[in-house]
Amino acid sequence: MRERRVATGAVTLAVTEWPGAGPPLVLLHGIGSRGASWLPVAPMLGERFHLYAPDLRGHGASDKPERGYLIPDYAADVAGLVDALGLARPLILGHSLGSLAALEWAVANPARAARIALEDPPLRTEPGILEAFDGWLALNAMSLPEATAWFRGEHPGWSDEECRRRAEAITGTHPAVFAELRAEAAANLASGRVERLASSGLEAIAAPTLLVSGEPELGSMTRPADAARFTTIVAGTRLATIADAGHRLHAEQPERFVAAVLPFLAGGGG
């Protein structure tokens, strides 16, 4: 594992790299996280791929501008990163916010990715997301010890290292990351524009795509009906569900998650 900084155009991103002999796989994390969040699955994926895990803008050790935290901003960074790294046909694996950035990038670059795997993408704006944003903003404002203690109390099964790593990630995120997307979500809810599948241009995506979701009862943000509709929009999409997992599939069930995505990314059906 090594770390480097890569200029993407508008910003410079911190990138954690696991060099390998296989094809390049770009890992895009979720909101309030960072590239290190892929540690639970990086050793397994690293056996087959050359991994690049950037801290998205506003997160981790990457640049943190005062504004510019909507999905098109992240997608532009993905485009700049792929070009700067010289990746002709990368594999893309995105979680949550990272999956939305991957989709936005793929619409503009429909045949650029070799394959795209989406981990529990939020395909619609749910009313409860405003409360979630408020919770993230509250955590973001805490000190590192306070946030670590919060994660320890909420997740007694997590190790001390995991609690501290999550606390470091969310307290180190620029507040505008949450504030801008919260404002957009509130506007979408007020206007009724809640589906990300409507008039989004997703039908242009030509890369084979896998959508992996968890169980709604455990916190999955992908509605089964939306996942099914996604397959009718993005031709040839495959679906997979991880049992006993909610939203952070690769952290909650790392072995099952890798079993779902690895055959697909390696060229099989998933």
Burial letters for 103-129: b for 16+ Cβ neighbours within 10 Å, e otherwise?
bbbbbebeebbbbbbbbbbbbbbeeeb
- CATH number (domain holding residue 119): 3.40.50.1820
What is the rounded CA–CA span in Å between residue 113 and residue 92? Answer: 7
Read off the tokens for 23: 């094809």
Same domain, 187 and 204: no
> How many domains, in total, are found in the chain?
2
Q: Which of 194, 216, 246 is the last residue of a domain?
A: 194
pLDDT at 77: 98
Q: What is the mean pLDDT of each run of 10 residues along the chain (270 residues)?
A: 94 95 95 95 95 98 98 97 96 98 94 94 94 97 98 93 95 98 96 83 93 96 95 93 95 96 81
Single pTM value for the model: 0.96
- The answer to whether 15 and 5 have CB atoms below 8 angstroms apart is yes
Same domain, 44 and 102: yes
No. of helices (H) and no. of strands (E), the chain: 10, 8
Q: Which of 194, 210, 238 is the last residue of a domain?
A: 194
Domain span at residue 189 reads 125-194
Same domain, 215 and 173: no
Half-sphere exposure of 189 (CA within 13 A, CB side): 13
Element (H, E) at 258: helix 254-265
pLDDT at 200: 76
Residue 118 lies in a domain: yes
